[in-house]
Structure 1
Amino acid sequence: MGKTEKETKESGGVLTALKKSLSRNKLGELLVIHGIITSEELLTALHQQKKNNRPLGQILIENKLISKYQLAAVLGRQYVIRTLAAGVFFMASMGASMGKSARADMIKDVPAQISLTSTANSAFGKMNSYPALFDTAEKRSGSLKAFTKWTGMFDRFERELRKSENQDIVREWQNDLAGFQGLELKKMASKVNSLMNEKQYIVDSKNWGQSDYWATPIEFMKRGGDCEDFAIAKYTALRSLGVPEERMRIAIVHDKQKNIPHAILIVYTDEGPYILDNQNKNLVSGSGVGRYRPIFSINRTAWWLHQAPTTTIVASAQ
């Protein structure tokens, strides 16, 4: 089955944004665009690079024009842009010839399997509109197959729920959440944020021997996790409490204070979007946070690429 007109338009919007980013993601140009160095400083450094045949980043550091942390941040951004683009471009090129459409609705609603209430008849109605995160321009796509860490987590989670050895953890999970039933969404989200933030924070390299691993909620309950594992557990908890899928997104952001990528959960309440963050014990309004710059956000039905409305530069990650 081919793509619908809507799907083609959505995919085209994301691909166009990525192409614009890829055309302007050279190290020197990114440094100039972000105001880290001037055009004149870049030209001088490029002249030195041509003369000495040394890496541009090394020359800029030696000339005290940038720090090692600034260089790492820009190089990391280059990498994640190219990584995401490669996955998206591949899926787009395959979409026309695939017998099945790469639709997000192929992902099972696994959290509903441990639901404490009917997820089909949720007390939380649909919202008329969803404000763009942090006032960014959003490009939506319904194809999630490029996000293998996300889709793979759901597959593993469903298998784990079938195992008898995990039933005690499932019952503990349900008992912990039972008291939150019937609360209005903002208060429910605050309770879930506090509950999950009690778990141990541990980096993936120590926990799993991998640089980036998206743990299932059961794995998280057993072993703790890092930022995206906290966000996934909170998402699953709220979904099992009947919060509609469209009211939640996991957002991968750039933490401008720490200059690192970070993951949070966004919940769209009737009072606006709120952030559930393992770095903050309190619920924070999504309209008043200057610390984070969104890269992409995702749920079980779609993903969104975030772009500053006044620039063509796109920050993205996979």
Structure 2
Amino acid sequence: MRMTTGGILSEFKIALQRNRLGELLVLKGLISPEDLQDALKTQKNSKKALGQIFLESAAVSRWQLFKILGRQYVLRTCAATLLMFIALAHMGGKKAHAESIEDVPAKLMLASIAPEFERVSAYPALFGTDEKRSANLSAFTKWTGMFKRFDQDLKNTGSQAVMRQWQNQLRTFKGGSIHAMARKVNDFVNESRYIVDSKNWGRSDYWATPVEFIKRGGDCEDFAIAKYTALRALGVPEERLRVAIVQDTYKNIPHAVLVVYTESGAVVLDNQIKSLVDAERAGRYRPIFSINRTAWWLHSAQSGSGTVVASAR
């Protein structure tokens, strides 16, 4: 059976989740589930590293902890290496041109208010990383599938009514700079309900259409997609928008945000943060890949820094 990029990344996410320090110690029989629960409570209050808590309580020895941490490191290193091979293979393989993806958000374009924003052929690399661009989107089935379902949504009478109401709200954001519209869109979309995919859709990873998101809420990538669609409807060119899959180093979890290249530089629209964040100052994010309707970009740290692996959660 063919495994897609989204599927592979999801499998790694599950593997990494199952190999967290506390869970590995329980599986090895070194601590009990109750010990882990107590340690997590202590960690929440003390902000200490989990390993330090186990050592201070003499729950495990330094050697036992070293072995477990070594296993985690090997798993993450293998995952990073495999991701690089997958990405390079996709870039060098048969091209599935992005032009084949219909520009569904353009169907919502508010023609009477869409300004002519300056088009720029190239933009600075995100977060100071090295970028490798590819127009082959064939492996990103969750992304391309979202566009297909969204197109079908717009043919449904009930969904059309939902989107008309949404467009009426967007009309109040008309005019002004891209930065100003991005701020208004961020505030507007962030009022929506946050709910994880497992509760909302009964699956671990689902990229909802804007119609589905408006009706049912969604998780981080659904917020990013809705913001992307809103700004496209307001006339912002495709090349100024990217959905970025990042590692949130504050929470140590994979995350999705929208990056907008405004007149004053790139900004990040995040469902976790009320205000826009200057991409150059967004130190909490380590980008993995970013994508729009025409291409995707693999991000790697400069100066030989490590690569982070995560799924588009």
Q: Contact 1:84 / 1:317 at 8 angstroms: preserved in 2?
A: no
Change (3 A) 1:309 1:234: same
User: What secondary structure does 2:214 align onto?
Assistant: helix
Change (3 A) 1:62 1:214: farther
Residue pairs, 1:148-167, within 5 angstroms: 148-167=141-160
Corresponding residue number in structure 1 for 2:106: 112
Q: State whether structure 2 residue 253 is matched by structure 1 residue 260.
A: yes
> What amino acid sits opposite 1:229 in the alignment?
D
Cα distance, 1:314 vs. partner?
3.4
Residue pairs, 1:239-258, within 5 angstroms: 239-258=232-251
Change (3 A) 1:240 1:78: farther
> What amino acid sits opposite 1:261 in the alignment?
P
Q: State whether structure 2 residue 140 is matched by structure 1 residue 147.
A: yes
Q: State whether structure 2 residue 187 is matched by structure 1 residue 186.
A: no
Counterpart CA distance in 2 for 1:73 and 1:181 is 49
Counterpart CA distance in 2 for 1:288 and 1:90 is 31
Q: Contact 2:104 / 2:147 at 8 angstroms: preserved in 1?
A: yes
User: What secondary structure does 1:64 align onto?
Assistant: helix
Cα distance, 1:126 vs. partner?
1.1
Q: Contact 1:91 / 1:145 at 8 angstroms: preserved in 2?
A: no
Change (3 A) 1:289 1:155: same
1:191-239 superposed Cα distances (whole Å, 9 cap, x missing partner): 0000000001111111111111111100000110000000000000000
Extract unaligned runs of 5+ from structure 1: 1-26, 28-58, 96-100
Which region of structure 1 is more displaced relative to structure 2, 122-131 or 71-80?
71-80
Cα distance, 1:71 vs. partner?
6.5
Corresponding residue number in structure 2 for 1:103: 97
Cα distance, 1:87 vs. partner?
7.0
Corresponding residue number in structure 2 for 1:42: none
Cα distance, 1:62 vs. partner?
5.9
> What amino acid sits opposite 2:299 in the alignment?
H
2:126 to 130, 133, 136: 133
> What amino acid sits opposite 2:280 in the alignment?
S
Q: Contact 2:80 / 2:307 at 8 angstroms: preserved in 1?
A: no
Counterpart CA distance in 2 for 1:74 and 1:189 is 41
Give the TM-score normalised by the residue count of structure 2. 0.73
1:91-138 superposed Cα distances (whole Å, 9 cap, x missing partner): 744x1xxxxx4101111100011111279x742111253111110010
Extract unaligned runs of 5+ from structure 2: 1-15, 17-59
Cα distance, 1:302 vs. partner?
0.5
Cα distance, 1:66 vs. partner?
7.9
Q: Contact 2:87 / 2:298 at 8 angstroms: preserved in 1?
A: no
2:279 to 278, 286, 302: 286
Cα distance, 1:252 vs. partner?
0.3
